[in-house]
Structure 1
């Protein structure tokens, strides 16, 4: 891995090239030299030579040669960084989100155990783990929301000559595989896990602040616990808001696709009756909506 300063400097110097390669990486996991050369010639600075730019990107570890191939690939860290800055995110897995939420239970137990055993190191480790999990969950929810908004916009702006089943295929898959499991997880009732686990974590941290105050612990330690408790509380609220926003974004498109499928099925059935019985007997005018 190149030195961070060198990598950041080369990103600044050749941002247009890296940004375009990041966009292309959604379609191409690796780039042939001809593709790479075309991007370099089109997006590099006019006062730079293509070979010089390529060497700079390779030396900074932004581009990496693929083993046993003449192709090149972008560093995965660079891809995540650029997509984060440009708000172009891929939808994460609901299973990853669920695993992180479940990990909150273990971190909360660690906080409570540290309090019971008066083990400040264990208490601090559990609280720090809660803070890190909270940050990662918040980041994933924000990125997933942006990805879902992009999926909805692409579906709505697609060519209307393309059958709706194809235009809305990704919308239906995302709703079934991500939005519904996320809504189940966010349920504040007995069936949910997100809200009750975060609620217990917040209660454990508040309890830790009270106990540390009684024991006369350092102000900085109590402040850290209180700040993490605020993070958990905010995530508990934001999680449900984002889940609702995702559902509200995709549900109208999902219903539109379902209604279209139902209408197509009814039309096909009616045409079948007309073909079998003829227009006069196959078309029941009394049953038509108009």
Structure 2
């Protein structure tokens, strides 16, 4: 068994090395020579023999662990998690991690209710402590995921590489798709998270009232009160954390959406130039800046001489113009403004389905832009829409969307 004091002393002496290895662990493993080089870099006064001894010390204390069937090394998972927590470099978890803990809370609450009905104080306390541990784990998971998303956003904004915006924001978009949206469904008012919280809170309230009436298990009343308070705190903290994460990611998502639309239109325009030529493509788009009198005006002798001299030295330059991404459109894509769409929607007396109305009103709009308008209009208070529980399917440009439709509320008209 490794002595804790030796391990803590080793981490303290080589903390600079640990920071470098934590950053390295996010991308790949490392070799013994890499570790020795980093030790020498952090401690220039070390001799070769000292560097070798310190490397062996890290291996003996299991700070570094060899990979299976390989000469490469990695940081111990315990040390890595500990260092990431101190450095605020948490890895983004999954919505299923939170969901599994909520399911475990349901199981423990049923066991605790059974213990309360049997008036078994010992089992009641055991399951109450287990539920308290699970709630703490969920709170910790929310905090870690929020910190991980904050780190992703900061790295994406600070990235000065020449990669495209989609490549730079790839991790941010994955975080939105893999964490924000599933957790939004989970904590929705009709989701599993909210149902579980409500049922467990109701059960704890009934148990507390039963103790107050009968006086049985009165010594456990305080622990049940604390458990209910922590449960409600978990519900509030989760919603607030999710709201902050969405506020961090939405500006980057909108920036990527605008950039994608700009790239799509630019590619289409270059493709039209390749097929029709620059003049035939740009003449309908560029306003004329010359009058009829200027078209037929004569130039001076000096202007004509200069023009002829430039023609003598003219050399044709060959340019590679890329093909269009989508040549099916007859003109550049025009995305309507949200305020214009909202004004048009207000003129409709009854909206049976917001998504179908958008698809019928803007059939040429890309799916991502259609969903953006759908999201913005669903939040508009002036439309007074109600979120339906039954899901409906909508086929748009080869995609099948499953949405819970928004319809006009009866009191809104």
CA positional deviation for 1:239: 0.1
Q: Which has the larger radius of gyration?
A: 2
Range 70-79 or range 128-137, more displaced: 70-79
Q: Alpha carbons of 1:261 and 1:108: their partners in 2 closer, same or farther (altered >3 Å)? A: same
The aligned residue for residue 261 of structure 2 is 262
Range 51-60 or range 79-88, more displaced: 51-60
Range 166-175 or range 155-164, more displaced: 155-164
Matches of 1:88 and 1:105, distance apart in 2: 31
The aligned residue for residue 5 of structure 1 is 5
The aligned residue for residue 199 of structure 2 is 200
Q: Alpha carbons of 1:256 and 1:38: their partners in 2 closer, same or farther (altered >3 Å)? A: same
Q: What is the correspondence of 1:113-132 to structure 2 with a 5 Å cutoff?
A: 113-132=114-133
Relative contact order, higher structure (CA 8 A, sep 6+)? 1
Matches of 1:159 and 1:11, distance apart in 2: 33
Q: Alpha carbons of 1:56 and 1:276: their partners in 2 closer, same or farther (altered >3 Å)? A: closer
Of Structure 1 and Structure 2, the greater helix share is in: 1
Matches of 2:230 and 2:248, distance apart in 1: 26
* Partner SS state of residue 64, structure 1: strand
Deviations 1:152-188 (A, max 9, x none): 111111126321111111111221111111111111x
The aligned residue for residue 107 of structure 1 is 108
Deviations 1:79-103 (A, max 9, x none): 1111111111111122222211222
Q: Alpha carbons of 1:201 and 1:158: their partners in 2 closer, same or farther (altered >3 Å)? A: same
The aligned residue for residue 14 of structure 1 is 14
Unaligned runs of 5+ in 2: 288-330, 335-413
Q: What is the correspondence of 1:48-127 to structure 2 with a 5 Å cutoff?
A: 49-127=50-128
CA positional deviation for 1:70: 3.2
Tell me whether 1:27 sits opposite 2:33 in the alignment: no
Range 60-69 or range 139-148, more displaced: 60-69
Matches of 2:73 and 2:281, distance apart in 1: 63
Q: Does the 8 Å CA contact 1:32/1:71 hold for their aligned counterparts?
A: yes
Tell me whether 1:168 sits opposite 2:169 in the alignment: yes
Matches of 1:45 and 1:133, distance apart in 2: 46
Q: Does the 8 Å CA contact 2:197/2:235 hold for their aligned counterparts?
A: yes
Q: Alpha carbons of 1:266 and 1:71: their partners in 2 closer, same or farther (altered >3 Å)? A: closer
The aligned residue for residue 238 of structure 2 is 239
TM-score, normalising length: structure 2 = 0.63
The aligned residue for residue 275 of structure 1 is 274
Deviations 1:114-164 (A, max 9, x none): 222223233223222211111111111111111111111111111263211
CA positional deviation for 1:5: 3.1
TM-score, normalising length: structure 1 = 0.88
CA positional deviation for 1:46: 4.4
Range 90-99 or range 116-125, more displaced: 116-125
Matches of 1:46 and 1:234, distance apart in 2: 52
Q: Does the 8 Å CA contact 1:186/1:243 hold for their aligned counterparts?
A: no
The aligned residue for residue 147 of structure 1 is 148
Range 166-175 or range 52-61, more displaced: 52-61
Matches of 2:102 and 2:57, distance apart in 1: 41
* Partner SS state of residue 65, structure 2: strand
Unaligned runs of 5+ in 1: none
Instruction: Please give the root-mean-square deviation of Cα atoms over the aligned residues, in Å.
Output: 2.4
The aligned residue for residue 221 of structure 2 is 222
Q: Alpha carbons of 1:9 and 1:209: their partners in 2 closer, same or farther (altered >3 Å)? A: farther
Deviations 1:215-238 (A, max 9, x none): 34353x322222222211111100
CA positional deviation for 1:197: 1.3
Matches of 1:84 and 1:229, distance apart in 2: 28
CA positional deviation for 1:260: 1.3
